[in-house]
Amino acid sequence: MQVILLQPVKGLGAIGTTVEVAPGYARNYLFPRRLAEPATDANVRRVAEARVREEQHAERERESAQRLGARLDGTQLVVHAKAGESGRLFGSVTAQDVADALAAAHGAKVDRRRVLLDEPLKSLGDHPVTVRLHPEVSAHVTVRVEPA
């Protein structure tokens, strides 16, 4: 029996794949759990149209991330923090602080999880930071930490 997978199934395939399975496996396992549906002409056409829409959406997101990355790449952000006389911060500058500075300086709403810091910044000065905007697009910014 031919079925179209609606969810990835270990040992069978990924979403949207048409596979041949035993009728009992489809009827008793795949269909009740909504993991697959019969591979009728209408279902195949619907899944193909959905795949095209998803690809177009993914392409628009990638292009948007590239435009934002080009705008952010090489920019310098200034973050103010309380520091001692030796240049050591009393707290630290975190990924959330960098994301907030990006939003304030460029109007770019970036999730803190997209700001790649090995560890929080704990000293004054310039620090290179990578912002992953999309799996294929990254921007490199410099964060200057100045005393408040």
pLDDT for 130 beyond 90: yes
Give helix 41-72 / helix 95-106 axis angle, nearest 10°.
80
**C-alpha–C-alpha distance, residues 134 and 69, integer Å:** 9
Instruction: Tell me the domains of the chain and their CATH numbers.
Output: 2-65 (3.40.5.10), 68-147 (3.10.430.100)
Instruction: Tell me the pTM.
Output: 0.73
Helix (H) or strand (E) holding 71: helix 41-72
| pLDDT tens-place string over residues 65-120 | 999 999 999 999 999 999 988 889 999 999 999 999 999 998 888 999 999 999 99
| 125-134 residues labelled b (16+ CB within 10 A) or e (exposed) | eebebebbbb
**C-alpha–C-alpha distance, residues 6 and 35, integer Å:** 5
